[in-house]
Amino acid sequence: MTPKTGGGRPWGPIRAENPAARKLAETLRRHVDDSGKTLATLAPEVHMGKAQAGVYLAGTVPKEAFIVALIRATVRPDLRQRRQEEALALREQAMRPAPRTTPGAPVVAGPGAGYAVELAAAQSRQIETYDRLTRALEQRAEVERAKNNSDKLVMVLLNMIHQLDRRVAGLVEERDQLRARPRSEALEDAERKLARAEEQEQRARAELRRAEEKQRQAEDLEARVTDELRRLTDELDRLRAGDTTSPLEELPVLPDEPESGPVSVDPVGDDIDAVLARASQVNDEDNTTLNRLSSELNEPTAGVVQDSPPDNPAVLAGRSVSAASPLPGVPDEGQEAVRALLRRSPAPDLFVRFLAEATRWENVKVHGIKRQNAKPGAPLDYSGYLRLRRQGSQFGGFAYVYAEHSSVNLRLHHTREQLDAIGATWARARVTGHRAYRVSIDLTDETSLTQAIHLATLAYNAT
């Protein structure tokens, strides 16, 4: 079992040469926990890197200067002197352990037989925390993209509304001048343009309100994801403290990525329509992303503004998944769990249609997940994600699918350029997670469903 201390955050096992050294490490760890500081915050305050600080906190007898600096950084002033004296006394005992006086007495120095078990548990936890940290990094990148989109959109829409105000004023003046003349085509044309410009201004203001709401949601999610990243990074630092055999050499990192009408009798109006259509699309995309991330971060959906785009009332029409018809390919034991996930999904019908298509292919089966500590004979877990496997293949799985988010991860290695070349413009080239599954796509509309099925076919044929 990975040792935990007062704050409940896990540490890696202690490898100490004698009981006094172990007690000293436990004491110093307790001070770190009580302070609430992360190892990243603490390292510059004790004048050394996280790795060396971790070695001392894992049982190696530290230098006196380290103990003094750590006590100063973690203990309140009125207790520092006493805590420093206690820690230095333990250091003195650890440096000069009492000799064994009783012949045949068991040797208690060293890490002990249980150390290997503790180390294996800590390293397993390291891998689990690494995966969660990777997903948090992906979430931060998605939130940043959504926030940047909303920030740009707000600026564009504010400028557009200003231009539309001027356009409406100009068209009103033009119409009023033409009214002095006999009824003409020019007057009718001016009135049509004015009506269109006024309707465009209303749409622009509606999209501006949506974009500003997305801004607020993205800022809130960004703060929460940042806190989660800080917590998971510190957890991984603690688990790796002093572990020279850690399977993880460094923290995960992510790089980044990017993203355009005809001549008519009213080109200005056409340009504005095109921008408004793009604004609506961006708002729709960001709404899906932010709702999904809110769900992933365990935030009740009531806390998220549920968007209802004015020009697209059919978007929510397929939200209910029939309780009567079984979900295609899903075993009976997983039907209820997957159905519960779909009730929170942004695109349940698209997800079911994807499953229906993929499970028609030869030897394709849907499987739940065998959890890490599951007992022999325990049922598979369907409450997270599902695996699509091609029975009889040496690889087996060709896709992981997430019902709650209507997203698909595929066993492909395509780059961004390769995805664009085959028309998979909605797919993402992943740089983290399972090394075999480097392409993912969210099901949001008919285009994304078509592209997801095409990519799944490629993954199936390659499996």
Q: Is the pLDDT of residue 82 over 80?
A: yes
The CA-to-CA distance between both ends of the chain, in Å, stands at 38
Return the minimum-mean-pLDDT range out of 81-95, 316-330, 394-408, 422-436: 316-330
Distance CA 259, CA 111 (A): 55
Q: What share of the chain is helix, strand, coil (3-state, %, to 5)?
A: 55, 5, 35
Q: Are 33 and 7 in contact (CB under 8 A)?
A: yes
- Residue range 92-116, pLDDT digits in tens: 998 887 665 555 544 444 555 566 6
Give me the mean pLDDT over the 413-430 stretch. 89
Q: Are 35 and 77 in contact (CB under 8 A)?
A: no
- The chain-wide mean pLDDT, for the chain, equals 78
Distance CA 195, CA 421 (A): 42
Distance CA 235, CA 271 (A): 51
Distance CA 428, CA 434 (A): 14
Q: Which two tokens stand for residue 4?
A: 């935990």
Distance CA 399, CA 410 (A): 4
What's this model's pTM, rounded to 2 decimal places?
0.40
Q: For 2-113, where are the alpha helices, taking DSSP H only?
A: 19-35, 39-45, 50-57, 64-74, 77-95
Residues 6+ apart with CB under 8 A from 122: 2, 10, 12, 13, 239, 243
- Residue range 26-37, pLDDT digits in tens: 899 999 988 888
269 φ, ψ (degrees, to nearest 5) = -65, -40
